[in-house]
Chains A and B, each alone.
Chain A
Amino acid sequence: EAQVTQNPRYLITVTGKKLTVTCSQNMNHEYMSWYRQDPGLGLRQIYYSMNVEVTDKGDVPEGYKVSRKEKRNFPLILESPSPNQTSLYFCATATGVSYEQYFGPGTRLTVT
């Protein structure tokens, strides 16, 4: 079954404590992306990757890092989380042809 998985699904943490949200896909897609969803703002892109070892900033990259060392994984790293990063995060993947994106189930992050 084609899947995009994210872990953890829910996380409550404290300011400054480094965390990683994992994203994994089994569809062999080249393109992967991270979004955050906030009330009244819709979804905004954080980072994206066109392929292994190729990453680029989206609209709201500040405070986040990513890496793409293998095709199936695209972790999102918050090295020093702050309360304004409390949000619902989605990972998405797509082929390099149609760019029809498939979304993971989301990770709800709360930073206190």
Chain B
Amino acid sequence: GDSVTQMEGPVTLSEEAFLTINCTYTATGYPSLFWYVQYPGEGLQLLLKATKADDKGSNKGFEATYRKETTSFHLEKGSVQVSDSAVYFCALSWRYGGSQGNLIFGKGTKLSVKP
């Protein structure tokens, strides 16, 4: 079945460091891909998305590119801030078919940014 694998955490970085969180997926076909962020004590918020191969999603300085050759959607940010400390989830879903709309999540990666 479909699945999402993301790098284990926690990840601890200093402020202004470069961030990469790896995400790969297994699916038949080309799903939509998402990154969600969960700040402490809050629900999940959509951070960025890509709906087809080679699309780049971006928001708040974060970027991820949908790579069908490597079935990957790695999250990057050039310079992290303390306020980026959160748990990041990679996810996929389908726009069509029997399970349309249902999100399949990775297990999450906790990021801590120190001043």
Chain A residues with CB under 8 Å of chain B are 4, 31, 33, 35, 40-45, 48, 50, 58, 90, 92, 94, 96, 98-106
* 15 chain-A/chain-B pairs, Cβ below 8 angstroms: A33-B103, A42-B89, A42-B106, A43-B89, A44-B105, A50-B100, A50-B101, A90-B43, A90-B44, A99-B93, A100-B49, A101-B46, A101-B101, A103-B44, A105-B43
Q: Given A42-B105, A42-B106, A50-B101, answer yes or no on A99-B95 (Cβ-Cβ < 8 Å).
A: yes
Q: Please, how many angstroms separate the alpha-carbon atoms of A101 and B93 in the complex?
A: 10
- A42 lies within 8 A of B107 (CB): yes
Count A-B contacts at CB 8 Å. 54
Beta-carbon contact of B101 and A99 below 8 Å:
yes
B residues in contact with A104, CB < 8 Å? 43
Give the shortest distance, in Å, between A42 (CB) and chain B (any CB): 4
User: Which of B34, B44, B45, B89 has the most A CB atoms < 10 Å from its CB?
Assistant: B44
Q: What class of interface size applies to chain B in its complex with A?
A: 20 to 34
Cα–Cα distance between A106 and B38 once the two chains are bound (Å): 11
- Asked whether A43 lies within 8 Å of B49 as measured between CB atoms, the reply is no
Residues of chain A within 8 A (CB-CB) of B106 are 42
Tell me, rounded to whole Å, the shortest Cβ–Cβ distance linking A68 to chain B.
14
Nearest-neighbour CB distance to chain B for A62, whole angstroms, equals: 17
- The residues of B that contact A44 with a CB separation of less than 8 Å are 105
Residues of chain A within 8 A (CB-CB) of B43 are 4, 90, 103-106
B102 within 8 A of A: yes
What is the CB-to-nearest-CB distance from A28 to chain B, in angstroms, rounded to a whole number?
Answer: 16
> Closest residue to A105 on the B side, CB-wise?
B43
Contact of B101 with A42 in the complex, beta carbons under 8 Å:
no
Bound state CA distance, A105 and B103, in angstroms? 17
